[in-house]
Chains A and B, each alone.
Chain A
Amino acid sequence: MEIPYTIKARPDTGLFNAKLGIWLFLASEVMLFGALFSSYILLRIGSVEWPHHVLDVPLATVNTAVLITSSITMVMSWASLMMKDFKKYRLYMGATILLGFGFLIIKYFEYTHHFHSGELPSYSTFFAIYFTMTGLHGLHVIGGMIVNSYFWGPGSKMWKTEPQRFTNRIEVAGLYWHFVDLVWIFLFPVLYLL
């Protein structure tokens, strides 16, 4: 059975199905992270004192730059396919995956530093919400990297048979990846700077 509207836009929505699908999924993700942001606000309002600049701001700033860079390489991988340049697609998608990996490595160093200092999630309300929010975000980065790696490797065979469908897949994977970047853009000031 053929999956409908993978290339052509559905007449009533004006979109190919996966595009609407990913946006609805992202809407549900907004609510998931929204619930945690809401919890953060409640915990902070309810606390007597809240730590300021206890996390490694310079390291997290570098990590923010890493994730922003991965967002532009992701959009460039899609733009390369639009320009029918598969080699460049491979290059940009590879860079996106490596940058995602770099983000996780930096996060790993941050986490182990906290663990060695005894700052576990049970240490304080702040660390509880810090690990919950960044942990969930980190899982999203891992998920995106798995999908991106598939499209960099075995999944890219589709470019030869159905190039437009493959381009659409990369666009959808990109929408998810940019969302993960967008969440970090809010997590960074909320947890590290304020």
Chain B
Amino acid sequence: MELTHAGDIKKHVRVYVTVFVALLALTVVTVSISYLNLTVVPAIIVALIIASIKGSLVASYFMHLISEKKLIFASLILTVVFFLALIFLPILSMSDRVH
């Protein structure tokens, strides 16, 4: 991030504190939901949605991706594509299994 005025940084600090509180709150929410004994599929979906929100908050604000240069986005998009391949290709390879 470019060197900005001290006033700008103070505004950033307020955002950091808000994000921090949101992260703690979401942690409490996801733990509470895990005690509700939901069936496996909805439990996984809800937990992953909450984790994704938390992850995006960390990446966007603490890692200030929200104001980052294009080249970083480009390399991250490539990473996401390969990450999805890494996750889904093995699962697809199991889809022809006879249960």
Question: Which segment, of A19-27, A109-117, A146-154, faces chain B?
Answer: A19-27
State how many angstroms separate the Cβ of A40 from the closest Cβ of chain B.
10
Identify B24's interface contact among A68, A74, A175, CB under 8 A.
A68
Contact in complex: B87, A45 (CB < 8 Å): no
Identify A189's interface contact among B10, B30, B58, CB under 8 A.
B30
- What are the interface flags for A45-80 relative to B under an 8 Å C-beta threshold, 1 for contact and 0 otherwise? 110000001000100010011001101101110010
Contact in complex: A31, B79 (CB < 8 Å): yes
Name the A residues within 8 Å of B75 (CB-CB). Answer: 23-24, 27
Name the B residues within 8 Å of A71 (CB-CB). Answer: 20, 23, 58, 62
Q: A41 on the interface (CB 8 Å rule)?
A: yes
Contact in complex: B47, A82 (CB < 8 Å): no
State how many angstroms separate the Cβ of B76 from the closest Cβ of chain A.
7
Name the A residues within 8 Å of B50 (CB-CB). Answer: 189
Contact in complex: B27, A72 (CB < 8 Å): no
Contact in complex: B13, A79 (CB < 8 Å): yes
User: For chain A, what secondary structure do more than half of its interface residues adopt (helix, strand, loop), or is it mixed?
Assistant: helix
- What are the interface flags for A6-46 relative to B under an 8 Å C-beta threshold, 1 for contact and 0 otherwise? 00000001110001100110010011001101100110011
Q: B98 on the interface (CB 8 Å rule)?
A: no
Interface residues on A, range: 35 or more
User: How many of B's residues come within 8 Å of A, CB to CB?
Assistant: 47
Taken together as a complex, chains A and B put the C-alpha atoms of A182 and B59 apart, in Å, by 8
Contact in complex: B31, A75 (CB < 8 Å): no
Residue of A with least CB distance to B44: A194
Q: A106 on the interface (CB 8 Å rule)?
A: no
Name the B residues within 8 Å of A167 (CB-CB). Answer: 3
Name the A residues within 8 Å of B40 (CB-CB). Answer: 194
State how many angstroms separate the Cβ of A43 from the closest Cβ of chain B.
11
* A186 touching B3 in the complex, CB below 8 Å, given contacts A68-B27, A181-B58: no
Name the B residues within 8 Å of A74 (CB-CB). Answer: 62
State how many angstroms separate the Cβ of B61 from the closest Cβ of chain A.
8
State how many angstroms separate the Cβ of B90 from the closest Cβ of chain A.
5
Enumerate the 3 nearest inter-chain pairs by beta-carbon distance, A residue then B residue, closest first.
A193-B34, A189-B47, A27-B79
Q: Residues of B with Cβ closer than 8 Å to A?
A: 1, 3-4, 6, 9-10, 12-13, 16-17, 19-20, 23-24, 27-28, 30-31, 34, 40, 43-44, 47-48, 50-51, 54-55, 58-59, 62-63, 69-72, 75-76, 78-79, 82-83, 86-87, 90-91, 94
